[in-house]
C-alpha cells in the first residue's frame, strides 16, 4: 500500500518528478514511494502527485550528439507540419534557412 500525504506534509526525502528533474536527477526505475493529494474546489477530482525516494534517484543521462541531432530534426519536422496545418507552405521556411 502506497502512503498518502496531505499537500506539503510529505517527508523531506520524497520528491516529485519535477523536483527530481530540477535537481538533475531521475527516478531510476524505482516504484512510487508515496502520493501527495491536494483537494480542489468545486468537488472536482483532487490533484495527485507521485513521490519518489531521492536517495534511490540517479543522475540524468546525457544524450549523445547523434541523439541531439535526431531530436533537432524531429522538432523541426513537427514545427513544419504545424505551420502547414495553419496554411503556411513548407517552402517558406526553406528560404529562411538558406539566406
Stated pTM of the model: 0.70
Contact at 8 Å (CB) between 7 and 38? yes
Res 52 pLDDT > 60: yes
Using alpha carbons only, give the angle 43, 45, 51 rounded to the nearest 5 degrees.
140
- Average pLDDT of the segment spanning 54-78: 96
| Three-state DSSP state, 95 | helix
Phi, psi of 77 (to 5 degrees): -65, -40
Question: Which residues make Cβ contacts (< 8 Å) with residue 49, sequence separation at least 6?
Answer: 16, 35, 36, 38
Same-domain check for residues 28 and 74: no
Indicate the pLDDT class of residue 95, thresholds 50, 70 and 90: low
Same structural domain, 54 and 70: no
- Specify whether 10 is located in the same domain as 39: yes
For a pLDDT cut of 70, what percent of the chain falls above it? Answer: 95
Task: Verify that 50 and 74 share a domain, yes or no.
Answer: no
13 with 38, same domain: the answer is yes
pLDDT of residue 11: 95
Q: Does 72 lie in the same domain as 43? A: no
Residue range of the domain that includes 30 = 4-59
Query: Residue 43 — pLDDT band, cuts 50, 70, 90?
Result: confident
Do 54 and 94 sit in the same domain of this protein?
A: no
Amino acid at each position: 500500500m502506497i502512503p498518502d500525504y496531505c499537500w506539503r506534509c510529505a517527508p523531506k526525502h520524497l520528491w516529485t518528478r519535477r523536483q527530481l528533474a530540477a535537481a538533475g536527477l531521475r527516478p531510476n526505475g524505482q516504484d512510487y514511494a508515496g502520493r501527495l493529494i491536494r483537494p480542489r474546489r468545486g468537488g472536482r477530482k483532487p490533484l495527485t502527485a507521485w513521490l519518489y525516494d531521492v536517495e534511490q534517484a540517479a543522475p540524468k543521462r546525457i544524450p549523445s550528439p547523434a541523439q541531439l541531432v535526431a531530436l533537432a530534426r524531429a522538432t523541426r519536422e513537427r514545427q513544419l507540419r504545424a505551420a502547414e496545418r495553419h496554411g503556411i507552405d513548407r517552402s517558406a521556411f526553406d528560404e529562411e534557412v538558406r539566406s
